[in-house]
Amino acid sequence: MSVRELTHFVGGEHIPGASGRFADVFDPNTGAVQARVPLAGNSEVEAVIANAVEAQKIWASWNPQKRVRVLMKFVQLVQDNMDELAQLLSSEHGKTLADAKGDVQRGLEVVEVCLGAPHMLKGEYTESAGTGIDVYSMRQPLGVVAGITPFNFPAMIPLWKAGPALASGNAFVLKPSERDPSVPLRLAELFLEAGLPAGVFNVVNGDKTAVDVLLTDPRIKAVGFVGSTPIAQYIYETAAQNGKRAQCFGGAKNHAIIMPDADLDQVADALVGAAYGSAGERCMALSVAVPVGEDTADRLIAKLTERIAELRIGTSFDEKADFGPLVTAAARDRVHEYIGKGVEEGAELVVDGRGFVLEGHENGFFSGATLFDKVTPDMSIYKEEIFGPVLTVVRARDYEEALRLPTEHEYGNGVAIFTRDGDTARDFTTRVEVGMVGVNVPIPVPIAYYTFGGWKASGFGDLNQHGPDAFRFYTKTKTITQRWPSGVKEGDLEGAHVADTDHFVIPTMD
């Protein structure tokens, strides 16, 4: 197989890398290198930013509805190219085609909500806040903003960030994951085809070197990040030190609380999908099941074990597969190291996925589904994010103990409770210290017009992604207090110098 040479996408053109540094992009199904992605050096990133600064001036001068028409065309183009995008995404990430389409679709839903951006960008107006004085506010774009995104949703997360940023009149520099950069490059082509002025949406490929330029260059006004927690924290702190807005979303350890009254067949079906789907490489994957009571736990383990035996693991193009390979050999090895640690720490390994081999794809980055029982809160497989097809079961004696687990955990991205009791569900949703909560819903990803964001070590910054928060994040508010001479009573301005604000405003504010 020939190795494709990828590019950056700057000013509406594919630009080859100039730094001489590259990273390999693998085919996770076979383990072969399928492409090389350039890793930008400082001067390449600076050139992207300079280009975006000029392009943003044109884009921001368009009225909001004209801008939104471009996004509308983009939505149509992505839908028209859905099969090709999903194919490309599956080939680099390893998630199944159905999951890949979901990845594109969830991103597109945020862009669809952005078609209402003119409404979100409207200001406020107060007539006669003082005698002859009107006050109004407007939302203006920030300028050039950056998005730094993870490998696990290479379409969805770039679109969550770019949709509202572009609709608000900003130019966007995307630094996607170096592990699956082809879909972001294709999205850049589709933005151009939809009529976005060249240079308004750019892709710069790279690693820490490129990220550090984005974090320190004063022409970048805001940084949106999604990825692992240590990097999220680094990006949040560095961006803030450099006077930028930042919203940085990190790792997760999502719990499912299973009350004794829950329908255990439904729970087991939901858990298998939410824990093992996309090989567990989802920030909203359920990785901890907390059955309440020994009997609930025993019955749940039996049902999970049955279902795990029926799972089909295949290539990302196998339409019958429940999940495909992990993204890289390093990701797979890391998962297997955690399984080893779990055994050493004394958890009961009910199903071991380490030995799984897919015939004909012996070098692919596959791992089978793994199930641990009798995991305790002091174990590393409970405390740390594994990001693979591993479900850990922590048995709780009662509801209060179950509630304490996600509430006291370092991460606070998502959580779910399974029960038939409204009172318990209501108490749980009120008291649990987690940002997104499901009630009998295993992966509680909010719909595009609500906001998405975790708490504690899962999110840094005070505004969430998509929904109304995104428009606040990507705009700055200007407030204007105005008086026109025709609206001023005779004598009000007597003796006042226009530049003397005290004289100018105070006499008329009563």
Residue among 163, 184, 250, 277 that touches ligand NAD (CB under 6 A): 250
Which of the following is catalytic: 159, 204, 283, 313? 283
Residues 114-173 that bind ligand NAD (CB under 6 A): 148-153
Stretch 327-366: interaction string toward ligand NAD, x if CB under 6 A: ----------------------------------------
Indicate which single residue of 177, 278, 287, 475 sits in contact with ligand NAD (rule: CB under 6 A).
Answer: 177
Q: How far is the CB of 156 from ligand NAD (least distance, A)?
A: 9
Residue span binding ligand NAD (CB under 6 A) among the ranges 83-91, 184-192, 207-215, 357-365: 207-215
**Which residue of 166, 211, 379, 390 would you call a contact of ligand NAD, by CB under 6 A?**
211
State yes or no: residue 388 binds ligand NAD (CB under 6 A). Answer: no
The tokens describing 132, both together, are 């002859």
Whole-number Å distance between alpha carbons of 155 and 303:
34
What residues does 372 pair with on adjacent strands?
A: 349, 392
Please answer whether residues 18 and 48 qualify as being in contact, where contact means their C-beta atoms are separated by less than 8 angstroms: no
Residues 6 or more apart whose CB falls under 8 angstroms from that of 163 comprise 71, 107, 110, 111, 113, 114, 466, 470
Asked if 214 touches ligand NAD (CB under 6 A), the answer is no
373 is a site residue for ligand NAD (CB under 6 A): no
Tokens read off for 383: 């405390």
To the nearest whole angstrom, how small is the minimum distance from the Cβ of residue 464 to ligand NAD? 9
Phi, psi of 43 (to 5 degrees): -70, -30
Q: How far is the CB of 9 from ligand NAD (least distance, A)?
A: 15
Whichever of 8 and 67 has its CB closer to ligand NAD, that residue is 8
Could you tell me which stretch among 243-251, 295-303, 440-448, 471-479 binds ligand NAD (CB under 6 A)?
Answer: 243-251
Backbone angles phi, psi at 128, to 5 degrees: 55, 55
Which CB atom, from 99 or from 178, has the smaller least distance to ligand NAD? 178
441 to 106, 254, 404, 425: CA distances (angstroms): 17, 13, 20, 12
Pairing of strands 436-439, 22-27: unpaired
- Least distance in Å: CB of 154 to ligand NAD? 9
- The reply on whether position 226 binds ligand NAD by CB under 6 A is yes
User: Is residue 248 among the annotated active site residues?
Assistant: no
Among 27, 103, 178, 373, which residue interacts with ligand NAD (rule: CB under 6 A)? 178
Instruction: Please identify which residue in 249, 338, 366, 382 interacts with ligand NAD, judged by CB under 6 A.
Output: 249
Residue among 324, 296, 309, 287 nearest 418 (CA): 296
The count of chain residues that interact with ligand NAD, using the rule CB under 6 A, is 26
Q: Which region among 206-214, 315-323, 371-379, 477-485 touches ligand NAD (by CB under 6 A)?
A: 206-214
- One-character DSSP codes across 106-168: HHHHHHHHHTTHHHHT---EEEEEETTEEEEEEEEE-SEEEEE--SS-TTHHHHHHHHHHHHT
Give the one residue of 172, 385, 394, 412 binding ligand NAD; rule: CB under 6 A.
385
Cβ closest to ligand NAD, residue 141 vs residue 454: 454
Go through 412-424 and write b for each residue having 16 or more CB atoms within 10 A of its CB, e for each that does not: bbbbbbbbeeeeb
Shortest distance in whole angstroms from residue 253 CB to ligand NAD: 9
Query: Within 13 A of 281's CA, how many CA atoms are on the CB side?
Result: 28
- Least Å distance between CB 393 and ligand NAD? 20
Whose tokens are 């736990």? That residue is 297
Q: Does 252 bind ligand NAD (CB under 6 A)?
A: yes
Q: Which is nearer to ligand NAD, 334 or 476 (CB)?
A: 334
412 lies in the binding site for ligand NAD (CB under 6 A):
no
Give, as ranges, the residues between 260 and 289 that touch ligand NAD (CB under 6 A): 283
DSSP H helical ranges for 198-288: 208-216, 229-241, 264-276
In the bound complex, which residue of the shown chain has the CB atom lying closest to ligand NAD?
227
Whether the CB-CB separation of 190 and 138 falls below 8 Å is answered with no
Place of tokens 């004394």: 346
- Using CB under 6 A, pick the residue from 231, 246, 288, 396 that binds ligand NAD: 231
- Are residues 219 and 190 in contact, defined by beta-carbon separation less than 8 angstroms? no
Residue whose CB is less far from ligand NAD, 81 or 465? 465
Q: Does 454 bind ligand NAD (CB under 6 A)?
A: yes
**Binding residue (CB under 6 A) for ligand NAD from 94, 154, 251, 325:** 251
Which has the closest alpha carbon to 30: 235, 325, 323? 325
Residue-wise DSSP of 442-485: SS-PPPTTS-B--EETTEESSS-BSSHHHHHHTEEEEEEEEE-G
Residues that bind ligand NAD (CB under 6 A): 148-153, 175, 177-178, 207-208, 211, 226-228, 231, 249-252, 283, 385, 387, 413, 454, 458
**Which residues are the active-site residues?**
283
